């Protein structure tokens, strides 16, 4: 597949049909210059939205019934089409986001790799979650009937593109990939900050659907006013679940709309997290300066516009903590700002930093210099104590960008008190050595209740896509603490269990039939059985 960005249409793709909108227009902007990019993208209205959701409903039955090989090959074809676009996709994403080529090239690889990973999941079939309790007609005092359970897709899913990941959390990103892998058609609302990038990837998905001769309603790409079209999409009765990555206010607004429907639906929203990093005394004493440099690198990478960027660091009082603060001040002074994703995000960062610096007991520890061009603010690090953190909710608010707050704690009890007052987080990072194990053991149970991922002697801003990853956490990190938006477990969000009691074998779906035609691993009478076993 080849895609020339000169051929961008500036239109939505509604069930395979390129469709001009009736509701105004929007343009992407180069955030390094604030210059508008061509073409203008026309915005659909609510009547046009219903064309997409109706097509998704029409596509659902055939899509959810695909055999594993056809289904997996479709996901792989999307990845191949995205790769076939070549450098044009990365170039357009650079122009719309200000992100560097290396970062976006890596993100494209991650996007394609997770599609292929979900293809493996579809072929293996474990997500069907088959459980079989065969009939026991001779059991006394009561016979047992035959009961078979599997998980089925919930129905069409609405997915919202994220501002900070124009590929990996966008059109063919994790929410879309996991929903499609589950067998759910996707109606995708593009982020208006990178419309051209979304169109290129949307066309890659559409081409894969056409080539596989699948129902075109499996995927639609929408451009529309964020509030009105987004709320209408969530309220549409054909939509059965929502995937969202964005702000706390945006996520909670969608949650409220979904809960207010006659048929409430789940919203899987990844929202706000300040991702605390905790330095313990033994580790910090080994190399305070080195830790300060590494920490600042994690804070400023991608201009701090990562959902796992560390916005809070706990450092012990005393000599090693003083050395860390001094080194961090010096390192920050040498740091230069990087272009942020949009002018709006830049303005929000400026306001957040101003608010933080104005709080009682908060001091500016270090500030870098503004970067070249527009929307490239100077990285800023502040400092305060545990008492201020406990008393002031402003210190718990996420600042999306290169800013962070150092908290000095007196002892482990002081640290435990502070950690217990934090909101839910995506991550918690522990910097420790062997001498710190006793102190770590005292706070680890607290962190288990606060975070979805706990890591040691690393940095939270790298999120591996695999089978064991959890990218979620208690509210407000996510809207449902039981789920993840990264890794193969993400597919579970878009499935629900159904039990089949005494259904004749000829009427059972393939995963439950006695001959096991899809060769699935199944739990039979409580015991896992391999693909060759019948039941």
* Confidence band of 2 (pLDDT split at 50, 70, 90): very low
Residue 379 in this model has a pLDDT that exceeds 70 = yes
Please state, in angstroms and rounded to a whole number, the distance separating the CA atoms of residues 445 and 209.
47
Residue 99 in this model has a pLDDT that exceeds 80 = yes
| Domains, the chain | 12-271+484-492 (3.40.605.10), 277-456 (3.40.309.10)
Say what the pLDDT of residue 299 is: 97
Check if the beta carbon of residue 77 is closer than 8 Å to that of residue 208.
Answer: yes
247-257 pLDDT, tens digit per residue, is: 999 999 999 99
Cα 267 to chain centroid distance, Å, stands at: 13
Say what the pLDDT of residue 34 is: 95
- Per 3-state DSSP, what percentage of the chain is helix, strand, and coil (rounded to 5)? 45, 20, 40
Would strands 277-279 and 312-316 be described as parallel, antiparallel, or unpaired? parallel
Cα 530 to chain centroid distance, Å, stands at: 33
The stretch 169-183 carries a mean pLDDT of 97
On average, the pLDDT of the chain sits at 95
Residue 258 in this model has a pLDDT that exceeds 60 = yes
Q: How far is the CA of 488 from the CAs of 44, 177, 498, in angstroms?
A: 33, 10, 21
Q: How far is the CA of 467 from the CAs of 269, 307, 464, in angstroms?
A: 20, 20, 9
433-468 pLDDT, tens digit per residue, is: 999 999 999 999 999 999 999 999 999 998 999 999
Beta bridge partners of 277: 313, 429
Say what the pLDDT of residue 3 is: 42
Would strands 522-524 and 131-133 be described as parallel, antiparallel, or unpaired? parallel
Check if the beta carbon of residue 37 is closer than 8 Å to that of residue 29.
Answer: yes
Say what the pLDDT of residue 225 is: 87
- Catalytically active residues, by annotation: 270, 307
11-35 pLDDT, tens digit per residue, is: 999 999 999 999 899 999 999 999 9
Place of tokens 């000599």: 319
Check if the beta carbon of residue 59 is closer than 8 Å to that of residue 403.
Answer: no
Reading across the β-sheet that carries 241-245, which strands appear in turn?
17-19, 12-14, 219-222, 186-189, 157-160, 241-245, 267-270
404-442 pLDDT, tens digit per residue, is: 999 999 999 999 999 999 999 999 999 999 999 999 999
Please state, in angstroms and rounded to a whole number, the distance separating the CA atoms of residues 127 and 424.
28
Q: Phi first, then psi: what are they for 406, rounded to 5°?
A: -90, 130
Please state, in angstroms and rounded to a whole number, the distance separating the CA atoms of residues 72 and 93.
27
Say what the pLDDT of residue 302 is: 93
Check if the beta carbon of residue 407 is closer than 8 Å to that of residue 389.
Answer: yes
Q: How far is the CA of 388 from the CAs of 85, 446, 476, 514, in angstroms?
A: 51, 20, 21, 63
Check if the beta carbon of residue 200 is closer than 8 Å to that of residue 89.
Answer: yes
Beta bridge partners of 489: none
Please state, in angstroms and rounded to a whole number, the distance separating the CA atoms of residues 35 and 375.
12
The stretch 150-163 carries a mean pLDDT of 97
What proportion of the chain, given as a percentage, has pLDDT over 90?
Answer: 96
Say what the pLDDT of residue 6 is: 53
Q: What is the pTM of this model?
A: 0.95
Check if the beta carbon of residue 421 is closer than 8 Å to that of residue 394.
Answer: no
> What token pair was written down for 6?
């000169």
Please state, in angstroms and rounded to a whole number, the distance separating the CA atoms of residues 179 and 159.
9
Say what the pLDDT of residue 462 is: 85
Say what the pLDDT of residue 534 is: 75
Cα-only R_g, the chain: 25
474-518 pLDDT, tens digit per residue, is: 999 999 999 999 999 999 999 999 999 999 999 999 999 999 999
Beta bridge partners of 403: 380
268-323 pLDDT, tens digit per residue, is: 999 999 999 999 999 999 999 999 999 999 999 999 999 999 999 999 999 999 99
> What token pair was written down for 17?
């049909």
Please state, in angstroms and rounded to a whole number, the distance separating the CA atoms of residues 38 and 60.
35
Residue 206 in this model has a pLDDT that exceeds 90 = yes
């Amino acid at each position: 597949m080849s895609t020339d960005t000169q051929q961008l249409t500036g239109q939505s793709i509604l069930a395979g049909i390129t469709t001009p909108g009736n509701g105004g227009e929007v343009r992407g902007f180069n955030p390094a210059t604030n210059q508008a990019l061509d073409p203008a993208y026309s915005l659909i209205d609510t009547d046009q939205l219903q064309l997409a959701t109706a097509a998704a409903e029409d596509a659902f039955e055939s899509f959810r019934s695909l055999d594993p090989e056809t289904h997996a090959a479709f996901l792989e074809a999307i990845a191949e089409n995205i790769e076939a676009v070549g450098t044009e996709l990365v170039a357009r994403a650079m122009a719309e986001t200000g992100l560097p080529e290396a970062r976006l090239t890596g993100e494209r690889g991650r996007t394609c790799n997770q599609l292929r990973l979900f293809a493996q999941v579809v072929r293996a079939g474990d997500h069907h979650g088959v459980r079989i309790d065969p009939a026991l007609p001779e059991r006394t005092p009561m016979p047992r009937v035959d009961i078979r359970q599997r998980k089925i897709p919930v129905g069409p899913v609405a997915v919202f593109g994220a501002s900070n990941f124009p590929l990996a959390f966008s059109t063919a990103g994790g929410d879309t990939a996991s929903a499609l892998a589950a067998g759910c058609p996707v109606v995708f609302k593009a982020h208006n900050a990178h419309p051209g990038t979304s169109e290129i990837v949307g066309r890659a998905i559409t081409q894969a659907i056409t080539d596989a001769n699948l129902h075109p309603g499996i995927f639609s790409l929408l451009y529309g006013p964020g509030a009105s079209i987004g709320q209408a999409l969530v309220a549409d009765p054909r939509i059965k679940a929502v995937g969202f990555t964005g702000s706390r206010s945006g996520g909670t607004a969608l949650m409220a709309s979904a809960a207010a429907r006659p048929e409430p639906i789940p919203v899987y929203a990844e929202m706000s997290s300040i991702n605390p990093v905790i330095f313990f005394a033994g580790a910090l004493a080994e190399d305070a300066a080195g830790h300060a440099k590494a920490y600042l690198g994690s804070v400023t990478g991608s201009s701090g516009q990562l959902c796992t960027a560390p916005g809070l660091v706990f450092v012990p009082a005393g000599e090693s903590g003083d050395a860390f603060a001094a080194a961090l001040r010096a390192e920050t002074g040498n740091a230069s700002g990087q272009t942020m994703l949009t002018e709006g995000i830049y303005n929000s960062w400026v306001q957040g930093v101003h608010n933080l610096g104005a709080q009682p007991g908060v001091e500016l520890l270090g500030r870098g210099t503004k970067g070249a061009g527009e929307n490239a603010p100077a990285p800023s690090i502040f400092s305060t104590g545990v008492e201020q953190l406990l008393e002031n909710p402003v210190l718990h608010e996420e600042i999306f960008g290169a800013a962070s707050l150092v908290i000095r704690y007196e002892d482990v009890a002081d640290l435990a008190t502070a950690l217990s007052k934090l909101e839910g987080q995506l991550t918690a990072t522990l910097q420790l050595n062997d001498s710190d194990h006793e102190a770590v053991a005292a706070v680890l149970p607290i962190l288990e209740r606060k975070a979805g991922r706990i890591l040691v002697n690393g940095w939270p801003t790298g999120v591996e896509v695999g089978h064991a990853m959890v990218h979620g956490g208690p509210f407000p990190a996510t809207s449902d603490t039981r789920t993840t938006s990264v890794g193969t477990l993400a597919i579970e969000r878009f499935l629900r269990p159904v039990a089949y009691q005494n259904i004749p074998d000829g009427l059972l779906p393939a995963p439950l039939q006695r001959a096991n035609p899809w060769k699935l691993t199944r739990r039979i009478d409580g015991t896992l059985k391999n693909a060759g076993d019948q039941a």
